[in-house]
Every structure is written in C-alpha cells, then in structure tokens.
Amino acid sequence: MMKSLVFPGTDWVSLTVALNAIGTLVVVGGALFSSWRAWRQRGWSPRLVATLLVALGALVVASGGTLTRLGHHDYLYLAMAPGVCLLLAGYLVADVSRVPRLPFARHAPGAALAEAEPRT
C-alpha cells in the first residue's frame, strides 16, 4: 500500500529538514560572506547592514519552518512574522540611497527648492 504524502513519515521529515538546512546555509552563508568582503573593502555601509538584515531574516524564517517540520506547529508564525519584518527592513535599508523621482518631473523632489534663490 502506498503512503500518503499529506502526512509524511519520518523519512520525509528528515529529508525536508535536511534540505531546509542546506538551503539556509547557502543563503545565510552567502550573505555573510558577501557582507564580510564588503566590510573589508568599504567598512560599514547601508548595503552591508541590509545584507545582514536579510541574512538574519532568512535564518529566522527557516528556523520557524524547521520547528514546524519537527512537530512544533505553533511556532511557525511566531518565527515568520519577525523574519519577514527583518527581510523587509533589509530591503528598505538597501533602497534608502535611491531618490524617488516623479515621472513628469525633471529633477528629484525637493531639488527645485534647494536650488531656488531666497526671495528678498
């Protein structure tokens, strides 16, 4: 008789935990290595902080998934919420250097005010 994949046995749980761990090591390890190289070359920067926040967010989300596969289903969303917040914070920190532009404006918002001469 064929086992149902809806309620996998311990073999499937072991496989998914191992694949989750390998994927997490690749993502977090790559981000940490990239951060270390950037820090050696340029020191602290918003991009470096953003990369560290993304690595930490991925680690937190992965830990929630691993706990779920090990039978602690209550911890999934407790780990997902702060993990996704850290991922978003990393994205926003990396995007802070971009100046928002309006499609119909010739200059960045506020540039005309900075260049305008004071009225007398």
Q: Where are the domains of the chain?
A: 10-96
| In contact, 47 and 96? CB cutoff 8 Å | no
Confidence of residue 74 (pLDDT cuts 50, 70, 90): confident
Render pLDDT for 8-55 as a digit per residue (tens, 0 to 9). Answer: 567 777 787 788 889 989 999 999 999 999 888 888 888 888 999 999
| In contact, 86 and 57? CB cutoff 8 Å | yes
Tell me how far CA of residue 38 lies from CA of 31, 35, 78, 119, in angstroms. 10, 5, 32, 46
Q: How far apart are CA 43 and CA 90, in angstroms?
A: 17
> What is the pTM for the complete model shown?
0.65
